[in-house]
Structure 1
Amino acid sequence: MIVSSPRQQLAHPILGTSSTNLMPGRFLSEDGIDMLFDLKLLEDKRGKVSEIKGSIIKSLDILENKRIISVGDRVTRELLGSGRRPEVAIIDLKERREMNCSTIFYLDDYLILVARNPAGTLMREAWLKVRKAIEISLSGKNAAVIVDGEEDLLGFPAIILPPEGWVMVYGQPGVGMVSVNIDRKAREEAMNLLQEAFLPI
């Protein structure tokens, strides 16, 4: 089922009380859950954004009983195939820039949202769809965001928006799966890098 949500302020406390005193910077709302502008990645910051953040996963056992938000088609498909179903999946139906729609067949019981996010950008529309998917998952239904464009930079909302205790899992080319434990420190680092590496479009 395809769900289209309007471009509007979604009022709900995803971050909870743990977000108090975070410094979201000039691109985010004071509570850190809304992005105020469409953003473009600065070319000279691309390498820094691509650096490994988190821990390389050597065994999927570390994800036991964790709530997961996955970013990327291959990592999402591997999680689904192992029986560790992400509460939220963010995919673009591509692998290494080539179309690969096989992941969609694993998402038959997921609520599907669609967002536009061209390569090298972080669009407010996509940010809000990730936020909506987290809302849906908190109500008990798994959700997936299918991106028209590229999903890579949606790792930012995948770290900033989920409640503490979740784990963001993504794929690092040539390395494997990487996990980021969602906590205050991870959010602050993501918010700081967002300010450093992007400019409004």
Structure 2
Amino acid sequence: MTRDDDRAATATDDEPLLVLPDDLRHELKEPMGPIETDADRLLKAVDGPLIAVGDVVTYHLLEAGRPPDVAVVDERTKRKTVDEEIRETVTEETTLEVANPPAELSAAMIEALVDALARDEPTTILVDGEEDLVALPAIVAAPEGASVVYGQPDEGMVHVKVADDHREAMRDLLERFEGDTERFWSLLEGC
């Protein structure tokens, strides 16, 4: 399968799967792990697969010499377009492209995440829309001991070392989203 075929195969199922209800937004403001501002220091605590959610986080990890095993980017930070250097750096090795509207998780996004986690080579998913919520299913789907790193606006990078307690907390949170939770969980099966 060519890279273009690969992208097209994943990008067809972009209808809303889960939608973040307004009453849960406040719960997502709190970081799910320690905040780090130095990528080198953060990477010293990484000893398994590395999943990065966000352009600036991905950029800092790449600049520190550690390409994420899975990177999810949308060419935006704090709702604004990232600068050209960050955009070019984080999208240079784009493998998959998917649509994922703001405050939602599309089926295409979840399928791409599961696909990327199963690959042996580093995989970058370029999102048309917004990637902010992808850290939640990434924590559920990532293997034990993996690191999920995402940005906390104006504070730094949040590092979640995946363990059962994190998975359980994310499962509980995702169950409270609106939409087709049954299909969502079926797409994450096997992770």
TM over 0.5: yes
Q: 1 or 2, which has the higher helix percentage?
A: 2
Corresponding residue to 2:51 among 48, 69, 75: 69
Give deviations 1:89-127, integer Å, cap 9, x for gaps: 001011121122544533577451011110111111101
Q: 1: CA distance between counterparts of 2:65 and 2:145? A: 20
Residue 47 to residue 108, structure 1, CA distance change in 2 (3 Å): closer
Q: Bigger shift: 161-170 or 96-105?
A: 96-105
Percentage of matched positions with identical amino acids:
33
- Unaligned regions of 5+ residues in structure 1, if any? 8-36
Corresponding residue to 1:176 among 156, 164, 167: 156
- Unaligned regions of 5+ residues in structure 2, if any? 11-15, 181-191
Shift of 1:183: 1.4
Equivalent pair of 1:93/1:102 in contact (CA under 8 Å):
no
Aligned residues: 168
2:140 corresponds in structure 1 to: 160
Equivalent residues in 2 for 1:1-201 (5 A)?
1-2=3-4, 3-4=6-7, 6=9, 38-57=17-36, 59-100=41-82, 102-107=85-90, 110=93, 112-136=95-119, 139=120, 141-196=121-176, 198-200=177-179
Q: What is the RMSD computed on CA atoms of the aligned residues?
A: 2.1
Residue 49 to residue 107, structure 1, CA distance change in 2 (3 Å): closer
Q: Which amino acid aligns with 1:130?
A: L
Residue 185 to residue 106, structure 1, CA distance change in 2 (3 Å): same
Task: Report the TM-score, using the length of structure 2 for normalisation.
Answer: 0.80
